[in-house]
Amino acid sequence: MQLIECPWCGPRDEIEFRYGGQAGIAYPEDPSALSDEEWAGYVFMRDNPRGWFHERWYHVHGCRTWFSVRRHTVTHEIGRDPESPRREEFG
């Protein structure tokens, strides 16, 4: 079992979370202008690197917040994504 550090609740067992996919995927500015192939690429195609990868996670059984983590795809080591806010940043 993995421990995932929620920025608000602290380290929790991975069973409390749901995987949300690759982080940093921007929604198309004009989706109606995309071809079917481009739209399918946006919806289905994601990076699959060997090494560190930025992911989105949802704390289902906790604070119910989305946040980003960095996970190593080989070792499954998890580190906080520097771009993800911390509780103390919200006062």
| pLDDT tens digits, 33-66 | 999 999 999 999 998 999 999 999 999 999 999 9
The pLDDT > 70 percentage for the chain reads 87
Q: What digits encode the pLDDT tens for the residues 1-29?
A: 789 999 999 999 999 999 999 998 999 99
CA distance 16 to 5: 11
Say whether pLDDT at 87 is over 70.
Answer: no
Q: Are 1 and 15 in contact (CB under 8 A)?
A: yes
Q: Which domain holds residue 45?
A: 3-90
Query: What residues are paired with 68 via a beta bridge?
Result: 56
Place of tokens 């690759």: 22
- Order of strands, edge to edge, in the sheet holding 78-80? 17-22, 52-59, 66-72, 78-80
Q: What is the pTM of this model?
A: 0.76
The domain total for the chain is 1
The CATH number of the domain holding residue 25 is 3.30.2270.10
